[in-house]
Structure 1
């Protein structure tokens, strides 16, 4: 008999103890201890460098910085309509509110009223009245667009005054465009459409369509995949402090301090050297603070300079949702030709994203989506078309994976459907399409896959997860269970690592060694909880042969390392680790030369390990040698630099080598669904992920676990809903937007790292681990799809859209049961 799903899912009290035991087993503490005794400081599991501060509540975030005397607070007045013209504003009514010091509009911005990161199409504040082009008012682009900024004595006073926006704005509304389909139908795009065509037989797009038509089997379908809110725990915040000579110091929760510096400088009409941007840490970023922190930094800086007083702008959660963008939702249409084994022979796909009202980062997001449609599979004939739809919604932006997940999930959905239509196991169909080693190994954008470890990795996971036996067990369970259905799926990933834009792949660092032997490192990356500073400190400690505790990382600061790239695209440790290693190596070489000059032998024979220096048969303390070097006037600080080699990209032809290497992984997920309610639960997840020779296994496993649960939320529970007429985002708070909680983690959660060093010369042969694991929870979505299919006897391909909410599952169940 069927148990109720709640009873069916009860977990024994020992389950979580077993999970903890399993967690410890994934890391070999004895091997790590031996490596550390031998002098290694990388490849060692260490706690996050700020872990104790986090636990004690002593880690300083922007809002924890003691406010200077005279600090004012800022809040934004937001548009109440999604489209139209802004004809005027009753500033007197806002100014009259208690505590208000000043109301700022676009006219008060001394420089450029724009915070667009690539295309200059994103106003900081909506302009008012007749424009230069003769139009009757500033263009209102979305409901929630900032129109004016209130600066008041307290945050509460500023917010109360800003809330008058609905009453004091004079608006001529228009009909908004809200969905990607609407935008595509009307030809509304924020950037020109992109097309990537690859044919091993020299066909053009028309020839590929002919190949699809001639294939033994054909699949034509569409898919909807929703967006996702970053939901960082620390919201958007900037604290601007005016300095002498008109300069400004901005404390900003941002992944890209240099871009904030440039945009604030443009808004204030100042040179870059007059703007100092600093960020010690963020309470999460996930891409939402790469470009979109700019509006708040600019407004706070404009207000601080205008009033010559410090100004803080901190959004509450509702306003953060209403003003900022998120992961792009995608709508796909595809036409696929395949053979009896499920091999894709030819494919054409159109991807349409909801870009929002401005370009922001939609172009590189779409580029990465197109470059990840192949995922783990060789596509001999493929035509891809990318359209970034302009809509009257928040401007969507970077989110962990940056388009890669949106591209890869489409091909996974296609292969899942092909398998069902052929009556084959989905893993067998996926394997039939895997990239090869010496052939069938060139991507659609013409990069050769030189480090393919898909088969050994997937094979290892298939064995360790007992996939075959569990597949049979799921079938047996479903045959005896009319209401509850289980599903199982194994999905692989291949994810390219590097920025799409070549010149972003560079980094700088400073390393200072003080006369007491302590070490300070500063680099261009930002810490958002992912452990970047921990890894960089490990790299420096390893290079200088000292204890990790000797090394301290300081706040990311545009006055220390200039012209930095964003901490994004999973390149933080790759780039900044290499730059810090370069700086530390220069110091080590100077110290070695000093030691040899003083104590004999050659510099090449000097060895640094475990806070000791071994030279010509003698053993010195590291601090002793540093003191000697200072007396000998040896430079004890150095800058370091790194630029990723071998990259190329032609954005016109969309070909080249955009990625330095690929990261791989695979996951098996098992779910149960209730066919009466649409309720579902993840019962077990097994993950094997490729982090190369991990710099810090504990941190990397944590990143894999976090990415898996975050991606699961995107594909199952996190639904964004805009009102179809007003354009208001109705899911704009924790009460209406459901992110996963600890209760959504599976009771059996097996996560391991695949022990295989990077073939490329990355930092200590490690691989990036921030974004790639977000593709692992595809297995959850396709396990749900498998369970839905089972409800109809696997006769009908489930039309399941993402997120697979209870409602989406019920709709798909209705379709398969009716069929």
Structure 2
């Protein structure tokens, strides 16, 4: 949670402060997952911006611009706002809502920052086989779908100047790396790639005399000759933040997103019709993987804020929403109809991952809170049509269909045929 305070630093906090308190509740202990603490903190500060906007009756995007203290964040927000016609779309939505009673639309913009820091020691073993010159790689980083193996193989192929088809990634073994850092914090791929880069550099030093004696020879010939000279073709390297400060400098990742939704007031159901994400990914090593991670993180956030409702027994604390019948993670139909991801153009940052890339596993999840404020915009219009006061109203997450319906001011006496 302390890392989450980095999110607050986006905004000018000269007139207010934050006090954190740890409490013990009677709820069973849970565990952390993607962007723990940061997700909640991002929603807190963005909620404050939305609250201010509603009270002073200006667009929340203008409130954010006025309060942002980090120049890079202000530039990012202005870019995503301009490039995706936020203001024109917002005016169109206001006009739509004035003309429709039971269908409403909403749009919201959010900008977030995520701190990246490296953990304890990571390891890698690179082994080259004499017979076919294939390369086997074993890292302490765990492949959990984030593309770690692919990025490590890319780094190895680049450093050794060999086809990636010659590289085989092996699953990590805890008895080989008994004291390695955990895979998390969106740094697993970076740490593993840094390790393998060092392995490749060491291997090239060992092979250099063979290259010198065999100019123009292919990789397979070099490896065969090196093995016959009893040159060690296995390299082990480690990466520790305290011993490798140049490769483990902490850095921040900025993200911005515009979320647009359409809401059925009679059922409380909504559809995310369009999402525009502008992501600081540095110089992406693998754009396809990074886009997948960005979209996956955002969808995971949508589930957290809209569909995944944890219901507990009031007497025992037992979890009641413990199966797919009553616990709803996002599915295929929850994916935004129009889902756009753009990488922020940037030069290589010395504070980044290998080759200038930046972590994208967790940072985009923070921007998903924008879906709540887009929904609240639609609900606000419905409440006004229902005769309720045009003022701030509180609404707790998740924004399930039931929760939306109950806050929309729907009453049976409004169901009139004309």
Give TM-score scaled by structure 2 length: 0.90
Aligned-residue CA RMSD (Å): 2.2
Measured in 2, the distance between the counterparts of 1:379 and 1:764 equals 35
Alignment of 1:89-168 (within 5 A): none
Alignment of 1:480-495 (within 5 A): 480-495=99-114
Secondary structure of the residue that 2:231 maps to in structure 1? coil
Measured in 2, the distance between the counterparts of 1:659 and 1:584 equals 21
Structure 1, unmatched stretches of 5+, are 1-365, 438-452, 600-617, 649-657
Cα offsets for 1:401-440 (capped at 9, x unmatched): 0111111110000011101111111111111122334xxx
Measured in 2, the distance between the counterparts of 1:800 and 1:390 equals 24
Secondary structure of the residue that 1:395 maps to in structure 2? coil
Residue pair 2:383, 2:409 contacting (<8 A) in 1 also: no
Give TM-score scaled by structure 1 length: 0.47
Secondary structure of the residue that 1:700 maps to in structure 2? helix
Alignment of 1:417-428 (within 5 A): 417-428=51-62
Structure 2, unmatched stretches of 5+, are 411-418
Measured in 2, the distance between the counterparts of 1:386 and 1:401 equals 18
Secondary structure of the residue that 1:732 maps to in structure 2? coil
Match of 1:723 in 2: 313
Q: State the shift of 1:718 in Å.
A: 0.4
Match of 2:416 in 1: none
Measured in 1, the distance between the counterparts of 2:87 and 2:339 equals 18
Measured in 1, the distance between the counterparts of 2:250 and 2:243 equals 7
Deviates more, 1:586-595 or 1:565-574: 586-595
- State whether structure 2 residue 122 is matched by structure 1 residue 507: yes
Are residues 645 and 479 of structure 1, via their aligned partners in 2, closer, same or farther at CA, if it must alter by over 3 Å?
farther
Residue pair 2:321, 2:327 contacting (<8 A) in 1 also: yes
Are residues 367 and 647 of structure 1, via their aligned partners in 2, closer, same or farther at CA, if it must alter by over 3 Å?
farther
More strand by share: 1
- State whether structure 2 residue 394 is matched by structure 1 residue 799: yes
Residue pair 1:800, 1:812 contacting (<8 A) in 2 also: yes
After TM superposition, which residue ranges in structure 1, 4 or more long, deviate above 4 angstroms? 645-648
Measured in 2, the distance between the counterparts of 1:647 and 1:541 equals 23
Measured in 1, the distance between the counterparts of 2:69 and 2:230 equals 56
Q: State the shift of 1:632 in Å.
A: 2.4
Match of 1:374 in 2: 8
Measured in 1, the distance between the counterparts of 2:261 and 2:270 equals 7
Match of 1:779 in 2: 370
More helix by share: 2
1:475 paired residue among 71, 94, 105: 94
Cα offsets for 1:179-238 (capped at 9, x unmatched): xxxxxxxxxxxxxxxxxxxxxxxxxxxxxxxxxxxxxxxxxxxxxxxxxxxxxxxxxxxx
Measured in 1, the distance between the counterparts of 2:86 and 2:7 equals 26
Secondary structure of the residue that 1:383 maps to in structure 2? coil
Q: Which has the higher contact order (CA 8 A, sep 6+)?
A: 2
- State whether structure 2 residue 218 is matched by structure 1 residue 621: yes
Secondary structure of the residue that 1:561 maps to in structure 2? coil
Match of 1:611 in 2: none
Match of 1:703 in 2: 293
Match of 2:322 in 1: 732
Measured in 2, the distance between the counterparts of 1:623 and 1:771 equals 40
Alignment of 1:552-631 (within 5 A): 552-596=168-212, 598-599=213-214, 618-631=215-228
Measured in 2, the distance between the counterparts of 1:812 and 1:624 equals 72
- State whether structure 2 residue 302 is matched by structure 1 residue 667: no
Secondary structure of the residue that 2:408 maps to in structure 1? helix
Measured in 1, the distance between the counterparts of 2:14 and 2:195 equals 39
Are residues 419 and 593 of structure 1, via their aligned partners in 2, closer, same or farther at CA, if it must alter by over 3 Å?
farther
Secondary structure of the residue that 1:409 maps to in structure 2? helix
Q: State the shift of 1:724 in Å.
A: 0.4
Measured in 1, the distance between the counterparts of 2:349 and 2:395 equals 37
Secondary structure of the residue that 1:776 maps to in structure 2? helix
Secondary structure of the residue that 2:17 maps to in structure 1? strand
